[in-house]
Structure 1
């Protein structure tokens, strides 16, 4: 399937530019270990709140961590962490997440360079923190490909609201209908649909094709297949 003519591609980060399970499971396990401070009952309570299997080091597909913001994750576990960690909980999550090792599903630099060579403006809209997003993109050597990088703390209502996506379109000076939103969750696709963008789903997150297809114009195994579908 070929998509309508596009002038920009807006990527989600986690589960899209980077494989979600490969990138975030180790970080989540370490966060739970740190916040539980050796208390096994506390560790299990944290894991249940975040829907993370500590034994398997794997997220449940319904985990709120997958598509939510770090503020939302903090709110879920605030009552479960030791009292002395409550005040700095959000900052700890942001700072530790920025150091997580991201695993791309495909070689990103040639892919993104090829899209830019077609005259496409590239951007990132993530429910992660903006500083963490910049850190991950720089570590992967791809930060220079993106005209705009927006996080949940960039002044817009996070996805599934369309605000961040419309903010990107406005910054790029483009009509939303000329932009493709590429993501791995229904949050991404619902935001894209509400913004009036073309919606492309990829299967490098935690959601399967059956969950994403009703909200997508196109479902791809990963972003490496994008060039075959962009005119």
Structure 2
């Protein structure tokens, strides 16, 4: 980019399915973590897969899975119901610790991509319904944590998508109003939150949702975040 557009000054990214390919990251993580959680019991494994919307044969999450857009807490509660555990906080930490070490498949070469956005003058943030600690771990493992001005999880005190509050917290933190902010995500939760916050809503197809599912909520749909620059430029010319 030659410089920050007149129309947009801030870009807020979802994490899973947006910065990191969903299937390349979370399908692989579940294939190892769910058998571990089940303690080798086949019936327990089947029940875990059922409540989380995971196809054991295909080793892939279903489009209806709670893991796609649910908060870390919601996922933990679902797991606890199968395991009969009442120590939700402790279990949530176990899930977060495992998730923090999930294999990561970036959707583009993140460091040069984000450096380009920073050089152009954009304020950058991440808002994920995952835990904040997991977001920091993943961005750190990928070597891109320091590119972001704001990193927020569903447990950061601002709520979770599709509520707009965490998105507005980004705007407040970087001092960019919502009208001049783009929210980029792979789920309807991301796009609904963007609309509710008064931001541009950009969908990407690096998650599980198809274009037809995202289209009613999106200003545009891109194959991946690498196409964002062209869209921002186009919007700036059309304003």
What is the CA-CA distance between 1:191 and the residue it aligns to?
0.2
| Residues in 1 aligned to 2:54 and 2:47: alpha-carbon distance in whole angstroms | 10
Matches of 1:128 and 1:75, distance apart in 2? 14
Contact 1:16 1:184 in 2 (8 A): yes
1:71–1:86 CA distance, 2 compared to 1 (3 A): closer
Select which of 150, 155, 160 maps to 1:148. 150
1:106 match: 108
Matches within 5 A, 1:42-191: 42-81=44-83, 83=85, 88-191=90-193
CA positional deviation for 1:82: 5.5
> Tell me, what secondary structure is at the counterpart of 2:182?
strand
CA RMSD of aligned residues (A): 1.5
Contact 2:76/2:88, CA 8 A, preserved across alignment: no
Structure 1, unpaired ranges of 5+: none
| Mapped contact 1:11–1:183 kept (Cα < 8 A) | yes
Q: Secondary structure at the match of 1:164?
A: helix
* Worse-superposed segment, 75-84 or 63-72: 75-84
Question: Residues of 2 paired with 1:74 and 1:100: CA distance?
Answer: 16
Gaps of 5+ in 2: 234-239
Using the size of structure 2 for normalisation, the TM-score is 0.92
Aligned equivalent of 2:40? 38
- Partner residue in 1 for 2:231: 229
Secondary structure, counterpart of 1:213 in structure 2: helix
User: CA separation in 1, counterparts of 2:171 and 2:84?
Assistant: 42
What is the rounded CA distance, in whole Å, between the counterparts of 2:229 and 2:93 in structure 1? 38
Distance 1:60 1:117 in 2: 38
Aligned length: 229
* Alpha-carbon contact 1:203-1:221 (below 8 Å) kept: yes
The DSSP-based 3-state class of the residue aligned with 2:215 is helix
